[in-house]
Amino acid sequence: MSLVIGSIALDTIANRHGRRERLVGGSTPYFAYAASLFEKPKIIGVIGEDFPGEILREMEEKGMDTRGILRERGKTFFWEGAYSEDFHSRETITTELNVFESFRPTLPEGYQEERNVFLANISPSLQRDVLDQLGKDRFIVMDTMNLWINTARKDLEEVIGRVNGFILNDEEASGITGCRYVMDAAEALKKRGPDFIIIKKGEHGSLLLTNQGFILLPAFPKREVVDPTGAGDSYAGALMGYLQEAGEISPLSLKRAMVYGTIVSSFTLEDFGLERLRRLTRQEVEERRNLYLEMLSL
């Protein structure tokens, strides 16, 4: 199973379809709901007293292992974001770390044994705390965001040097490397240590760089976006979930995993927050994947 550490949040989201207050979000729930279409992810994180018990129960029903989620006194991590009319940009209005401020992750019994690990978006020092508790020969993939590029650069660079794969969006890739073009950014990131780099370019698809070269996949074409929050985390969740299910990591399985990431994240956009992922089935994923593969066959 995959192990994931990242933020578990309550999010307030405003965009041209309206405003939703205190929805369950954070990089980990998006990742874990997507991964649970393929496997039973193990979660490490912390929540406060205001986190809805109903969602925690649902996560367990869907097979996610929540033993690594600490329940602390105080408030859950809170994030508020507002999107531009065309969804091309997003402004962070508030970030409140709350229970994450004093959180130090400790892996429960059995968690250290997991081979596939995803360091979802959270402070690089917490990502490193988890890395330090893992044995050798792990398959470790990470994500990050602009806040950490700007405020925790040194820790971030250290974590990048210790992982097998790095999945990030084009804006973050150029923020870290200073490169304007994604191909250059991917090459510059790969030189820092990871075996592969995946750069997500929103509606323009995603790019993979390995020692074997580049692969570029388009996004699944969608007309209506309701809320793009968490699309990147659900891409990563489906990618890691599929790799766990496939049982092998190769340029071909990575490419197939990117297809699942592309498909699952195209569902995330269809409703606010986690809503679409909560009711998504594997059958719907397979149907859309078939359409996508048909679109790609020449």
Chain residues in the site for ligand AMP (CB under 6 A): 7, 9, 11, 25-27, 79, 95, 121-122, 145, 147, 229-233
For residues 14 and 83, the answer to whether their CB atoms sit within 8 Å is yes
Least distance in Å: CB of 153 to ligand AMP? 14
Instruction: Return the residue nearest ligand AMP (CB atom).
Output: 25
Cα distances (angstroms) measured from residue 89 to each of 82, 229, 244: 9, 11, 33
3-class SS at 286?
A: helix
Which residues partner with 90 through β-bridges? Answer: 83
Q: Please, which residue, 249 or 277, has the CB nearer to ligand AMP?
A: 277
Q: Which residue is associated with the tokens 């007293």? A: 49
3-class SS at 287?
A: helix
Least distance in Å: CB of 97 to ligand AMP? 8
Q: Please, which residue, 115 or 201, has the CB nearer to ligand AMP?
A: 201
Q: Please, which residue, 96 or 187, has the CB nearer to ligand AMP?
A: 96
Q: Are strands 90-96 and 77-83 parallel, antiparallel or unpaired?
A: antiparallel
Q: Please, which residue, 174 or 210, has the CB nearer to ligand AMP?
A: 174
Q: Which residue is associated with the tokens 């074997």? A: 212
For residues 59 and 49, the answer to whether their CB atoms sit within 8 Å is no
Q: Please, which residue, 210 or 273, has the CB nearer to ligand AMP?
A: 273
Q: Which residue is associated with the tokens 């890691």? A: 240
Q: Please, which residue, 1 or 34, has the CB nearer to ligand AMP?
A: 34
For 196, left (φ over 0), alpha (ψ -120 to 50), or beta?
A: beta
Least distance in Å: CB of 147 to ligand AMP? 4
Least distance in Å: CB of 230 to ligand AMP? 5
Least distance in Å: CB of 244 to ligand AMP? 20
Least distance in Å: CB of 283 to ligand AMP? 25
* CB count in 10 Å sphere of residue 298: 2
